[in-house]
Amino acid sequence: MRIIFVIDQTYTHGGIQRMLSIKANYFVRKNNYEVIVITSEQKEFSPCYEFDSKIRFIDLGINYERFKSYYNPINLFKIPNHVLKLKKVLKKLTPDLVIVCNHGTETFFIPFIEKNIPKIKEFHFSKSIEKSSRENSKNLIKKNYFRFSDYIEGKYNRLIILNSEEKK
């Protein structure tokens, strides 16, 4: 089985990066799966956690401006290139499964590329934090953003959440 993990980068210390290293190593060592990690902004840095030497890394080199919003024109203009590069790599690699680890721009377009490949979205944050904002917001932009996010999440084959409380 060929599994692709999609994440922005693996060079900073964080929970998502740590969980990715544990899962990727497990799939390679225990199940003998082929694992590929696709990043959008690795910038030639080494991963901060240990990954088995059998795990392949592909960096798309998108390099979003981290100190600007994803909605900033500088970053918005990078999205089409990101979509095209990721689509090309997925088509070439023909994975059995794609797992999106973080909540970056790829969250919003991965369900729509190479639709025949099953896709899983992981949530490494509590959605209950945004619950009151969802329920009490009078801001039309926020309400539409939440609706759009719900629509996108519905396009994934599976969602992985932190705990059973998040199902509510």
Q: Is the pLDDT of residue 168 over 60?
A: no
The pLDDT value given to residue 166? 56
| 0.85 exceeded by pTM | yes
Contact assessment for residue 35 and residue 6, using Cβ atoms and an 8 Å cutoff = no
DSSP lists the bridge partners of residue 58 as 38
Across the range 74-87, mean pLDDT stands at: 97
The pLDDT value given to residue 135? 73
Tell me the three state secondary structure of residue 20: helix
CATH for 64: 3.40.50.2000
User: How distant, in Å, are the alpha carbons of 67, 74, 103, 108, 112 from that of 79?
Assistant: 16, 10, 14, 10, 14
The pLDDT value given to residue 139? 81
Give how many domains the chain has, as a whole number.
1
8 lies in which domain range? Answer: 2-167
Across the range 80-100, mean pLDDT stands at: 98
Read off the tokens for 113: 């590329």
